[in-house]
Amino acid sequence: MRELAEVLSQNEVESLLAALDPSGGQGGSTHAPTAPRMQDFGRQISVYDFKRPERVSKEQMRAFQALHDGFSREFGASLSGMLRSIIEVKLISVDQLTYSEFVFSLENPTCFNLLFSKGLDGHIILDLNPSIIFPIIDRLMGGGKSASNTLLNRPLTDIELKLVSRITKLAIQSLNNTWSKICDLDLNVTQIESNPQLVQIVPPNEVIVLISFEITMSDVRGVMNLCIPYNTIEPLSGKLSSDTWSSYTQKTLDPLQRVHLETNVAHAAVEMVIELASTKLTASEVYGLDVGDVIMTDHEVASGVKVIVEGRSMFLAQPGVFRGQKAIEIRSKVTHSKDEIQDRLTKLGISKATPIPERVNAGKK
């Protein structure tokens, strides 16, 4: 302590103690300079839970949100058509958590559908909350607006499971259509349970992507959960980006559409103009023209005339007469600079032109 006292003063020691323990101490003057610094450290620190590792990137999470937002609209329209009522399906959250946290967050009993995907070679879980399942079943059985909305706390019967399978088929069809740009899911229901804790498809600490939807029918609301284990979609991690299912993705033209398009375009009328020659005159020269005057041009007679289709030079032709009618004979096709560049790139095996750097003048200052 004697050596420390020779180096540090009492005020410096108190400042160090205040910096180590900003919540304690009584010296107001010593806390003033250290409090902003501790706040800056607090802004830079982010909490990380090792029990819930974030294996799915933020870009992939945004991609899941964009993908299943389209699924919610398609499934809502299909469900409305089947129930003959306005059903709204809305995406409410996309999270990643462990499988055990997902299972223990569900109600018991519930409608727990285990789906197997041949395309992903793994399982997907579709959970339907009883708060919306029983009103839908009541609607399918003929119940109206005056039907009881009392929530039943019991497993589904065999007849009710048969009715719920119609809803599950609509959800599977919408999922297959939504994922068609990524892979062919080919989903099939393999198991239906009322107790979610009886189904163990992955280890409890395995990361899953939980996609939650809110189903609204009149005044009744319920939640539908879609659980996708990370090891199931891990082979497709490279394809999971927000651009994959963009509405502007190029699609393959259907052969029937191609035939209709080619047929209609082939019969479309276009304007064709034959340009004999071209030159430039001033207004005074045009004003001074008289009958018998000759206008000289740079166009040679042997080079033929230019055929212009819809304002674009297409061919070089030779004028003449055919069966007593004025006619032209196509001699060659006009080659544009853009076409020449594309032909040269094709010969070099380059599909797209690389940007040409701007020329820099290295003159003296």
Residue 230 shares a structural domain with residue 312: no
The verdict on 203 and 318 lying in the same domain is no
Q: Is residue 190 part of a domain?
A: yes
Distances (CA, A) of 82 to 5, 76, 140, 161: 85, 10, 9, 16
The CA distance from 48 to 57, in Å, is: 15
Beta-sheet strands, E only, within the chain: 87-98, 111-117, 122-128, 187-193, 207-217, 220-229, 272-275, 305-309, 312-322, 325-333
Provide the 8-state DSSP code for 110: -
CATH number for 153: 3.40.1550.10
State the pLDDT confidence band at 146, using cuts at 50, 70 and 90. Answer: low
Which of 339, 336, 335 is closest to 353 using CA atoms?
339
Does residue 36 have a cis bond before it (omega within 30 degrees)? no
Q: What are phi and psi of 189, to 5 degrees?
A: -80, 120
Per-residue pLDDT of 280-339, as tens digits, reads 889 998 888 889 888 888 877 777 888 888 888 888 888 888 888 988 888 888 877 776
Q: 205: left (phi > 0), else alpha (psi -120 to 50), else beta?
A: alpha
> On the CB side of 103, how many CA atoms lie within 13 Å of its CA?
20
pTM over 0.85: no
Higher pLDDT: 277 or 228? It is 228
Same domain, 97 and 187: yes
Nearest to 73 by CA among 218, 225, 184, 175: 175
Q: How far apart are CA 128 and CA 142, in angstroms?
A: 21
Parallel, antiparallel or unpaired: strands 87-98 and 207-217: antiparallel
| Domain assignment of residue 163, yes or no | yes
Mean pLDDT of 265-294: 87
Choosing from 199, 216, 236, the residue where a domain stops is: 236
Among 187, 202, 236, give the residue marking a domain's end: 236
| 284-299 pLDDT, tens digit each | 988 888 898 888 888 7
Closest CA to 61 of 50, 69, 51: 69
Number of domains in the chain: 2
State the pLDDT at residue 29. 46
Domain membership of residue 219 as a residue range: 58-236
332 DSSP 8-state letter: E
Condensed to tens digits (0 to 9), the pLDDT of residues 194-250 reads 888 888 888 888 889 999 999 998 888 899 999 999 888 888 877 776 555 444 444
Q: Are residues 89 and 202 in the same domain?
A: yes
Within-domain flag for 192: yes
Task: Tell me the C-alpha to C-alpha distance, in Å, between residue 7 and each of 29, 119, 301.
Answer: 22, 72, 104
Considering the chain, what percentage of its residues have pLDDT values greater than 70?
Answer: 77
Taking only the tens place, the pLDDT of each residue in 97-129 is: 889 999 998 888 889 999 999 888 889 999 999
